[in-house]
Amino acid sequence: MGKIRVTKEFRFETAHTLLNYDGPCRNIHGHSYKLFVTIIGEPVDDISNSKYGMVIDFSDLKSMVNREVVDRFDHTVVVSSKVEGEKLRAIDKMFGNVLVVDYQPTCENMVEDIAGRVIPHLPEGVTLHSVKLYETTTSYAEWFAGDNI
């Protein structure tokens, strides 16, 4: 049997601010993100295995991505660790649910972060093929494993 790609869609609400950006996105604002996680592998070929015929159980993929990504980003304000300490403390005090990251929280950097959060938790024989993150209905960033070898 050959390799099969399996994709699961997720949605979450996140706010962010872009440090030193020269447009309105320098202000804290939110997006309704849509995330597609695609894994690749061979379906289980053991009839005695409860996952027979599956590359991954969709419920297992859903649980893992929710735990490692959605639960961490949903209803948070994502802020770069490079934001001045006083401003960062003010954001934390005002919003409470703040995720401080070591990068500028653009869609491009977030999609790479998400890939890094998913990869270590995939079962043996399954690899991450791609991650697509929609920031708006018409704008998205993609991460492909083949581009990152």
Q: Cβ-count burial of 128 within 10 angstroms (0-12 exposed, 13-18 middle, 19+ buried)?
A: buried
Neighbours of 26 (CB within 10 A): 12
Distance of alpha carbon 49 from alpha carbon 37, whole angstroms: 24
| Residue 35 amino acid letter | L
Q: Please identify which of the residues 75, 86, 107, 108 carries the catalytic annotation.
A: 75
* Share in percent of the chain as helix, strand, coil (round to 5): 35, 35, 30
Active site residue 25: yes
Active site residue 107: no
Active site residue 129: no
Q: Please identify which of the residues 16, 107, 129, 135 carries the catalytic annotation.
A: 135
Structure tokens that stand for 54 in this block: 């599956």
Q: Please identify which of the residues 25, 86, 112, 121 carries the catalytic annotation.
A: 25
Catalytic residues: 25, 75, 135
